[in-house]
Amino acid sequence: MQMPAPSLPRDMSTAALAAAKGQTAVVSGGSRGLGATVVRRLLRQGWNVATFSRSGPPDVAASDIGVDAGELDERLFWHPADMASADQLREFATLSIERFGRIDLLVNNAGMLVEGLLAMTGESDIERLIAVNLTGPILLTKACVKAMMRHRRGAVINISSINSVRGHQGVSIYTASKAGLDGFTRSMARELGPLNIRVNSIVPGFFATDLVASLNESRRDRIARRTPLHRLSDVEQVADAVMFLASDASAFITGQTLIVDGGYTC
């Protein structure tokens, strides 16, 4: 009896590999968490990936993505940059284009959280949070879409937060920055749609991040009980949404906010 062919690992289907070959993705904050997962998934699917962070390059092994070390070095570019620095963002975009010749996808993933009541939040914290979560993504989008315009094709994915949908005490500035990012998404979809460039945002629920890991068990259980699916997400499920919006399967989707929260905000 003929045995069925073994299935390929996640994101390594023949069609996905063929579609992504030669395309370049820019991922901000690609050294850890969701950003690092997205970097690995894109590389595994055949994309060239340019990423930056302040903390160091992503921990990606050639064996993780099914290539040799030489090919990984060719297809992965990391450069130190601060999301709050306009000059560093412009430099990174320029270096990425020089390295790969094009940009087809931007994932605005980098972000930061400052917790505390507004009256007790310092002005420097407010300014940096807005710079990292809103101004930085706007400036990076501006730099990257210029390259997309030359090919009249591309996609921008902004990573937002459930705080942009439902308010929570103690995160008002963070909420404002993410709500602004969602509004930016919708306006840019109108602006770039005629150039065949799609712009969407993803609102993740609570998933396995350093922030959630810092919560005590009773708090995590309470969040899970409030979620209709009665569980928290994992980072791969959020990355699934990124990969969907980056793919041709979402070719007619733009200006949308995709909520991936197990029903927490419904």
3-state SS, 12-50, equals: CCHHHHHHHCCCEEEEECCCCHHHHHHHHHHHHCCCEEE
Torsion of CA 211, 174, 86, 102, to 10 degrees: 70
| pLDDT at residue 5 in the model | 41
Could you identify the residue written with the tokens 């002005």? 123
- DSSP lists the bridge partners of residue 228 as none
Close Cβ partners of 1 (under 8 Å, ≥ 6 residues apart): none
What's the distance, CA 242 to chain centroid? 7
Give the DSSP H or E segment for 212: helix 210-213
The answer to whether domain 14-207+234-260 has CATH 3.40.50.720 is: yes
Asked whether the beta carbons of 35 and 51 are under 8 A apart, the reply is: yes
Strand, coil or helix: 105: strand
Q: Which long-range contacts (CB under 8 A, 24 or more apart) does 60-64 make?
A: 60/36, 64/40
DSSP secondary-structure letter at 160? -
pTM: 0.90
Q: What is the pLDDT of residue 167?
A: 78
Reported in sequence order, the residue ranges of the chain that DSSP labels E, i.e. its strands, are 24-28, 48-53, 76-80, 105-108, 154-159, 197-204, 257-260
Distance CA(262)–CA(189), nearest Å, equals 26
Phi, psi for 24 (deg, rounded to 5):
-120, 130
- CA 10 to each of CA 6, 41, 47, 67: distance values in angstroms, whole numbers, following the listed order: 12, 8, 14, 15
DSSP 261: S
Alpha helix (H) residue ranges in the chain: 14-20, 33-44, 62-65, 69-75, 86-100, 123-130, 136-151, 172-192, 210-213, 217-226, 235-246
Question: How far apart (Å, rounded) are the C-alpha atoms in residues 28 and 109?
Answer: 5
Q: In the annotation, is 174 catalytic?
A: yes
Q: What are all long-range contacts of 62-69, with beta carbons under 8 Å and residues at least 24 apart? A: 64/40, 65/40, 66/9, 66/12, 67/43
Q: Which of 174, 184, 206, 264 is catalytic?
A: 174
What's CA 71's distance to the chain center, in Å? 23
For each of the chain's 266 residues, which pLDDT tens digit applies? 444 444 445 565 555 654 567 899 999 999 999 999 999 999 999 999 999 999 888 889 898 888 999 999 999 999 999 999 999 999 999 999 999 999 999 999 999 888 889 889 899 999 999 999 999 999 999 999 999 999 999 999 999 998 888 878 888 999 999 999 999 999 999 999 999 999 999 999 887 665 566 667 778 788 888 888 888 888 999 999 999 999 999 999 999 999 999 988 88
pLDDT of residue 3: 42
Q: Domain ranges for the chain, please list them.
A: 14-207+234-260
**Identity of the amino acid at 250:** S
Q: At what angle do helices 172-192 and 136-151 cross, to 10 degrees?
A: 20
